[in-house]
Amino acid sequence: MKTGRAPMENENAAVAVFKALGDESRLAILRILLAEGESYVELLASRLSLTSATVSFHLKKLEAARLVTCRRTQFYRIYTVDRAVFDQTLADLIGETPPPDDDTKYRAAVLAAFFENGRLKQLPTQRKKREVVLRFMAEAFKPGCVYPESDVDQAIRAWYEDYCTVRREMIAFGIMVRRRNPDGGEDLYEVKRSCGER
């Protein structure tokens, strides 16, 4: 049964629940409370062959994790399970999935590290960083348009002197495709469209 109670407020609350459940004595206490509805320290201690101090310690952990609630009577502190927590699904307890990282910050950091005054200082040796740099330079070309090799070289040279290596790497990474010119002139190049681009 679902309740109107909101899911756990934050991930720290979920961590507290899982930590509280990671002890066999606390699980045993919860089993009794779930089966019988309520109990008190001395009775739980007798049932579980534990000292009252040990049971009190475990109940404080369970109460801090919001798994049990407590009310006072004239002689005892009566403990019951917090049904609102137990009625949550595991997904509710864990919380919402964080939005996917779109690599925006990572890309910005890579570009800041390898470009200076509008020029590429060097090609990164690490594959992922190299791809970030190559895709950035490929933005100089309009996807779907065909460029002769001389135009490609000129555009790349504005970024980096070794245009041959950059052009070759763009092809190797699948960013750009090269094909023979049917008219027999210089080779033709085209930047591939990114996923989802129209």
Q: In terms of CATH architecture, what is 11-94?
A: Orthogonal Bundle (1.10)
125-179 pLDDT, tens digit each: 999 999 999 999 999 998 888 999 999 999 999 999 999 999 999 999 999 999 9
Mean residue pLDDT across the chain: 86
Phi, psi of 173 (to 5 degrees): -85, 0
Q: In terms of CATH architecture, what is 104-191?
A: Orthogonal Bundle (1.10)
Quick one: pLDDT band at residue 7, thresholds 50, 70, 90?
Answer: very low
Report CA 91 to chain centroid distance, whole Å.
15
pTM for the complete prediction?
0.49
> Over the Cα atoms of the chain, what is R_g?
32
pLDDT surpassing 80 at residue 75:
yes
Report CA 6 to chain centroid distance, whole Å.
22
Map out the domains of the chain as residue ranges. Answer: 11-94, 104-191
